[in-house]
Chain A
């Protein structure tokens, strides 16, 4: 048999017409004892340099082997001559190896990028948006980036969607940065986004179980125009900007307080009609594109169960109402949830937060997002005012970002778990 093969191989090599410059992997289904004999002979042939990927021949399983390009023509002819059917499993081994290598390099770069992203710093919009892309690329089966519209100055508004599937599952909404100068809120949200992804990947409770039943939507920058403006210079005029950047009826005074523009008792006391004020509510409810984009998104989704918004400063964990001192119908339950969430928060660093309705803990505010959400039936609506209590105020040192994010995360986790259980 061997002599026959060797002779045949020589003959075939001379007459081979096809030229290959790549290695291929062929598959043979051994359909009979005869096949097995042929395969055993092939294996013994060192000249052809075959590299068997499956070992042990039987009629039960297919046999895969890599054929060097120099032998491909001869081997294929040999198989045809012997009426052995084969399929080309990989028709370009090098291409596959190159692709795999490129993927590995790219993955390493992505890992490096997420690892090298500085969570303990205040990052500008471009860096945050690029972080979002990196996060999505590292967790393509969990996270997607949803564009819900554009800002007044035509910047994209993105929400990160954390989902393990399903069709419009019950969802949780978290936003930060509706007020531009509250930098620790955006910074905490960035850390939290990464944390949700990592907890899911490393199977750390309760995130995987929450995500098996619910989706999480996280909007890191709810007021991109304002955020960019607050980075323009270190002058207080920029850094301490609160509102959006729309043109108003007063050319000297741009911007609307986006947290007074919601369709919830809009134009009541606790907001201003003067465009030059920091709490200017805008000309009408939802007149501001940023608010409209979020409201429309949440309304058309229709299945949000919780709405949480991050602000700074004052260290408060609050629930509706903002527009009135009357207790919301679910006040006892919301107060309970907030109190428990607060205990979780406190456990990280003993940071003292106070719990209560927005009206009673801060002041009356009309057109606030939390009231809007609650009145739309999103029962578990909460507003956070993060660190500190006035020592640094809006200018919280960056070395407190991660600690702030961690304690906030403990409270958020408690609330999400609570909502999920119901």
Chain B
């Protein structure tokens, strides 16, 4: 594997940037804020003493949750080289991130769905034709953010994850002042081209951000016994 300067358009840099992106979404994602990778500007890689590999990146992300704004970020991504898979470690800084705070949209969304009458339930987001209703978009964004916890945890230098679809979402009753959502999400690994199913339970509030409480891998084929990252 290349060491030193990396070509920003080649996959090693892009995969590392995608990992940094997942980290960014877990920390700052919300129903109205989800980041996507725009492009990598510069990247370097080096082996580190503990047997891992560290990438240093300069890249831009787009918030497609609502604002469409572009942020410039820098990150260090460390992929440990351990016998059993362990999650990468990310240090990240994006310009203008501190200024982002809870928006009126988020408050309104929260108030609407924290009410006991709210019992959201839906499937196939987007549908086969790429359609998502306006009502469902925040739930789609939340799924992407929650899925980022899993994608971050499962990532290695040999994976490149996106969320392909939300198979279903159902709101859970709770006494907490949190929106409680059960999701079945489909991840797409661009390297193996596999579709990987995960069930997860997540919570969100404007103050608390997104948290993931439970995750459960779903086997695709009857005979499969373990998730791809464990290979």
A362 to B9, CA, bound (A): 10
When distances are taken between beta carbons in the complex, the residues of chain A under 8 Å from B186 are: 236, 240
Residues of chain A within 8 A (CB-CB) of B84 are none
Query: Using Cβ atoms and an 8 Å threshold, which residues of chain A touch B105?
Result: none
Q: How many contacts A-B (CB < 8 Å)?
A: 89
Residues of B within 8 A of A50 (CB): none
Please state if A393 and B164 are interface contacts (CB–CB under 8 Å): yes
B9, B191, B195, B222: the one within 8 Å of A354 (CB): B9
Are A279 and B162 touching (Cβ within 8 A)?
no
Bound CA–CA A361/B9 (angstroms):
7
A278 in contact with B221 (CB, 8 Å):
no
The answer on a CB contact under 8 Å between A356 and B38 is no
Residues from chain A with Cβ under 8 Å of B39 in the complex:
352, 354
Number of residues in B with C-beta < 8 Å to the partner?
A: 34
* Complex contacts, A242 vs chain B, CB 8 Å: 193
- Does B37 lie at the interface of the complex (its beta carbon under 8 Å from any beta carbon of A)? yes
Q: Which of B37, B124, B128, B162 contacts A393 (CB 8 A)?
A: B162
* Contact A390:B162 (CB < 8 A) given known A240-B195, A361-B10, A362-B11: yes
Q: Closest CB-CB distance, B164 to chain A, in whole Å?
A: 5
B193 and A278 form a contact (CB under 8 A): yes
Among B10, B130, B195, B221, the residue within 8 A (CB) of A392 is B130
Do B36 and A398 touch (CB < 8 A)? no
Contact A395 B223 (CB under 8 A): no
Contact with A along B174-199 (1 / 0, CB 8 A): 00000000000010101111110000
A277 to B195, CA, bound (A): 10
B223, A276: Cβ atoms closer than 8 Å = yes
Task: Choose among A253, A392, A398 the residue with the greatest number of B CB atoms under 10 Å from its CB.
Answer: A392
Is B64 positioned at the interface, with any CB of A under 8 Å from its CB? yes
A residues less than 8 Å from B92 (CB atoms):
none
Interface flag for A396 (CB, 8 Å) = yes
Q: Which of B105-135 contact A (CB under 8 A)?
A: 124, 126-132
A165 at the interface (CB under 8 A from B): no
Shortest C-beta distance, B89 to chain A (Å), equals: 22
Q: Is B71's beta carbon under 8 Å from chain A? A: no
B171 at the interface (CB under 8 A from A): no
Contact of B37 among A121, A355, A361, A390 (CB under 8 A): A390
List residues 267-321 of chain A with CB under 8 A from any CB of chain B: 276-279, 314
CA distance A2 to B154 in the complex (A): 105
The minimal Cβ–Cβ distance linking B160 to chain A, given in whole angstroms, is: 8
Known A-B contacts: A362-B11, A390-B188, A391-B36. Give 10 more (CB < 8 A). Answer: A234-B124, A240-B164, A240-B165, A240-B195, A277-B192, A278-B193, A356-B7, A393-B165, A395-B127, A400-B130
11 CB contacts below 8 A, A to B, read A231-B128, A236-B167, A278-B192, A352-B39, A360-B10, A361-B9, A362-B11, A363-B191, A392-B126, A395-B127, A397-B126
